[in-house]
Structure 1
């Protein structure tokens, strides 16, 4: 520490003795009664001569702070001097005394600490959110992110300053679309001056025209209508009957064949179909699926073959199965004979009728042949 020694003097004034000590920043005066002993006066004078005053050099502050006011320009401070610190821009006191005092060439302890200024969350944004890429402390920027279908409106930046958020926060406004494109031979509805995000329009074609594509378009988030607008065209398919394909009309629509007309085809006699018999007229003026083709039927040639058969060997089971068949044959023959006999008796007079006589009980009955006259 630098030391400063100034002048000292002893003066006699009336009945008192004055001792004066001067330093750079202090002035000390001591008076004494003349009756004081010579020894005491000598000691006092020696003490004044030896007395020194120590100054303090420039104090050092903590992180993110500096000396306040004009004291920042001084390099040394006298004993008893008081210096106050202040936090740098973007920082604020976290507590503790900001001042120190010079005593006997030493500064008292500095209690204050400085922390970065934190602005905290910014105000809410309708139809959007706020993002903090670098946080919410001093110097950080708040970025507005709008919801889908909305766009940020406003200029400038929103920055965290030492007094809070500074600037003007952007707002989120709904995305709008220009009127939809006009389609030849078509109309759309509803018709408005402008359309907002998610608004839908519908196209319709004039009479006898077919709409190709989507009939509905939607105002998208980027301010355009999607998907692409449709087309309105006249659809007419050619006659599906074709001599070259050997096909004929079998049912369904009749000419003219317009969009979605459906026809059923058949082949000429002696032909077989290759493809689908049912076709539909599509928007590209073509039949779908493609028209079938009928091909002539070719009879396969009969190959000459020799067949050798062998009589199977009968088993007892086969013989048993022949018994009912044999009985049926015999029974049929007997019935046939009876019918013929009866017819012969009554129709042709054949002497074949038999008269039965009753015999006595227990005696046999014998037939008698009668002569039948014509």
Structure 2
């Protein structure tokens, strides 16, 4: 008759034990920032007394505090984790001869550095490098002196000096052959990007016919034909006035500025104004007459004006 109660007691004790076991568990810990569990198991709960160890995530390392990396499950709670993780430093990316590495993001894990060369040098190698878990990636770049290949030749012209390569800022000068004229910049230099300045000059035959300006005369400059940059000057004939500029320069097959125009001066009533010439003629005539009159008076004064007859002379 006592068998049944004993069996029930055993069952009760077993259940109580299970309840205690269930209650004496710890959930999977989260740990601190930038760290992970070394235990890669997929368990979500851990029994009383379990110990787990953390490590820093990729790109991070323990700080100098020396805190414990392990925790223990006690009374359904994990012990305090002492591990603290900080970003790894990649250190200086190194010196770059004739250049430098720029580190605006710093030199810690995840930062990116950019290589920059001095003017006159070209970067050979990767322009950027990243700070990874094991240091800076890729190899260091180098800065090499700029070299320019010979510039293009131009038709009916050549350049000097002629070399296999040219240093940064080195110049060449173009010239034309025969009767060709150089149009453009005659000297170009090797630029920092390893190319010569553009655009290139041209060699052209430049001729300008004599400008046709009615009622005008050339007063400066040679007779046609004219070459590039030859200059002439014109003046309008009397009775005409110039509209435009008197000086003309032979440019690329045309005169600059355009030839002026000599137009007849118009007086009142819409007729050609000759009054200036007439006025000048009258003025000159008056001046001549005045001078002649002065001369006569002077001569009379020297020889006398003639005697006035008296009563006793010539008669009574």
TM > 0.5: yes
Which stretch shows the higher mean deviation, 90-99 or 273-282?
A: 273-282
Specify whether residues 275 and 297 from structure 1 end up closer, same or farther in structure 2 by C-alpha distance, changes over 3 A only: closer
Q: Residue 32 of structure 2 aligns with which residue?
A: 62
**Higher radius of gyration, 1 or 2:** 1
Q: Residue 219 of structure 2 aligns with which residue?
A: 250
What is the alpha-carbon distance in structure 1 between the residues aligned to residue 159 and residue 203 of structure 2? 12
> Map of 1:178-257 to 2, 5 A cutoff?
178-240=149-211, 245-257=214-226
What is the alpha-carbon distance in structure 2 between the residues aligned to residue 193 and residue 232 of structure 1? 24
Shift of 1:215: 1.2
> Map of 1:1-374 to 2, 5 A cutoff?
60=29, 61-68=31-38, 84-94=53-63, 95=65, 96-100=67-71, 108-132=79-103, 136-147=107-118, 150-155=121-126, 158-240=129-211, 245-268=214-237, 271-276=239-244, 278-297=246-265, 300=268, 344=309, 349-350=312-313
Shift of 1:221: 3.8
Specify whether residues 105 and 183 from structure 1 end up closer, same or farther in structure 2 by C-alpha distance, changes over 3 A only: closer
- Whether the aligned pair in 1 keeps the contact of 2:157 and 2:176 (CA below 8 Å) is yes
What is the alpha-carbon distance in structure 2 between the residues aligned to residue 278 and residue 240 of structure 1? 11
With normalisation by structure 1, the TM-score equals 0.54
- Whether the aligned pair in 2 keeps the contact of 1:97 and 1:110 (CA below 8 Å) is yes
What is the alpha-carbon distance in structure 2 between the residues aligned to residue 257 and residue 117 of structure 1? 77
**Unaligned stretches of 5+ residues in structure 1:** 1-54, 303-338, 352-372
**Unaligned stretches of 5+ residues in structure 2:** 1-23, 271-303
Which runs of structure 1 show a deviation greater than 6 angstroms over 4 or more consecutive aligned residues?
69-75, 102-106, 339-342
What is the alpha-carbon distance in structure 1 between the residues aligned to residue 219 and residue 60 of structure 2? 93
Give the structure, 1 or 2, with the largest relative contact order (CA under 8 Å, sep 6 or more).
2
With normalisation by structure 2, the TM-score equals 0.62
What is the alpha-carbon distance in structure 1 between the residues aligned to residue 133 and residue 240 of structure 2? 93
Shift of 1:228: 0.7
> Aligned Cα RMSD in Å?
4.4
List per-residue Cα deviations over 1:241-270 (Å, max 9, x = no partner).
55xx2333334323443333333334445x
Shift of 1:230: 1.0
